[in-house]
C-alpha cells in the first residue's frame, strides 16, 4: 500500500464541510448521499440507447437532438438534471465520413444520467491523454478500425458540458422496432469507442 493519503485527506475535508452544512441547516442529514444514490439509480446506458434509437427512427427528433439536446431528451422523459445543477448536453452523430469520440481530459466528466456510471477505462489517464493525440490508435486498441478516409472528431467534456454520440444505424435494421434498435446500442457506442 502506498504512503499517499491524499484521497483520505480530501475525504475527511469533504465530510467536515458536509457536517458543517448539515449543522447550519443548509443540508438535511444524509442529503448528499441520498441525492447521489437517486442520481446513480436512474443512470443507465439503456437511457442513451433509447435516445439513439429514437434519433434513428425519427428524423425530426434527430434534428432537435443535434440542435438542443437538453430540450430534445425531455421528449423521451429524460433529463440531465440530478446533480446540483443541470449540465449542458451536446449530442453528435456519426456519419459515413465522420466518427465522434468522447473524452474528459481533465477528469472523467460524463453523462451519467444517460450512460450510467463511467467505465474504468474512460477514467484512466491512458485513455484521457492518448485519445486526443491518437484517436485512431485508441479505437484500434479497443477493437475496431475505421477506414482511413473517416475523419475522427474528439469531444472534450467538462464540468458544465457533457457529450454523447449517436452511432450510425446498422445496415439491415429497417424492420426493427425502436425498442429492438435500442437493444443494439452499447455504452461504448454512445461514447464513440465502438460501432453498433
Do 33 and 47 fall within a single domain?
no
**Shared-domain flag, residues 34 and 52:** no
Q: Name the residue range of residue 28's domain.
A: 6-38
Q: 108 catalytic, yes or no? A: yes
pLDDT tens readout for residues 35-80? 666 655 568 999 999 999 999 999 999 999 999 999 999 999 998 8
Predicted pLDDT of residue 40:
59
**Percent of all residues in the chain with a pLDDT value above 70, rounded to a whole number:** 88
Whose CA is closest to 134, among 120, 108, 110, 154?
Answer: 154
Same domain for 75 and 11, yes or no, is: no
Does one domain contain both 81 and 177?
A: yes
Would you call 107 a catalytic residue per the annotation? yes
Cα 95 to Cα 58: distance, rounded to the nearest angstrom: 16
Dist. CA 40–CA 36, nearest whole Å: 6
Nearest to 166 by CA among 67, 52, 79: 52
Question: Which of 2, 44, 79, 104 is labelled catalytic?
Answer: 104
Residues 180, 118, single domain; the answer is: yes
Same-domain check for residues 51 and 143: yes
CB-CB contact of 187 with 94 (8 Å): no
Q: Which of 107, 124, 129, 177 is catalytic?
A: 107
Question: Residue 3: what pLDDT?
Answer: 44
Residue 175 binned pLDDT confidence (cut-offs 50, 70, 90): very high
Cross-strand pairs, 154: 101
- The DSSP bridge partners found for residue 91 are 164
Catalytic site includes residue 11: no
**Assessment of whether the complete model's pTM goes beyond 0.75:** yes
Q: In this predicted structure, what is the pLDDT of residue 92? A: 98
* Pick from 16, 18, 13, 52: nearest CA to 32: 18
Residues 126 and 164 in one domain: yes
Strands (E), the chain: 88-93, 98-103, 151-156, 161-166
Number of domains in the chain: 2
Judgement on whether residues 22 and 85 belong to the same structural domain of the protein: no
The three three-digit cell numbers of residue 69, written as one number = 439536446
Q: For residue 1, is it within any domain?
A: no
**What is the Cα–Cα distance from 75 to 58, expressed in whole angstroms?**
12
Amino acid at each position: 500500500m502506498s504512503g499517499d493519503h491524499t484521497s483520505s485527506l480530501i475525504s475527511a475535508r469533504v465530510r467536515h464541510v458536509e457536517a458543517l452544512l448539515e449543522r447550519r441547516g443548509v443540508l438535511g442529514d444524509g442529503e448528499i448521499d441520498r441525492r447521489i444514490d437517486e442520481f446513480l439509480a436512474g443512470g443507465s446506458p439503456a437511457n442513451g440507447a433509447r435516445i439513439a434509437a429514437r434519433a434513428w427512427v425519427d428524423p425530426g427528433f434527430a434534428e432537435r437532438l443535434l440542435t438542443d439536446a437538453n430540450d430534445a431528451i425531455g421528449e423521451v422523459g429524460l433529463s440531465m438534471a440530478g446533480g446540483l445543477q443541470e449540465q449542458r448536453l451536446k449530442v453528435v452523430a456519426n456519419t459515413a465520413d465522420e466518427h465522434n469520440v468522447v473524452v474528459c481530459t481533465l477528469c472523467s466528466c460524463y453523462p451519467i444520467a444517460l450512460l450510467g456510471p463511467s467505465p474504468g477505462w474512460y477514467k484512466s489517464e491512458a485513455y484521457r491523454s492518448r485519445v486526443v493525440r491518437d484517436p485512431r490508435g485508441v479505437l484500434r486498441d479497443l477493437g475496431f478500425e475505421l477506414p482511413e478516409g473517416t475523419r475522427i472528431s474528439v469531444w472534450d467534456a467538462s464540468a458544465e458540458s457533457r457529450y454523447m454520440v449517436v452511432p450510425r444505424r446498422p445496415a439491415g435494421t429497417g424492420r426493427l422496432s425502436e425498442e429492438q434498435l435500442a437493444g443494439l446500442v452499447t455504452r461504448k457506442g454512445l461514447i464513440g469507442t465502438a460501432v453498433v
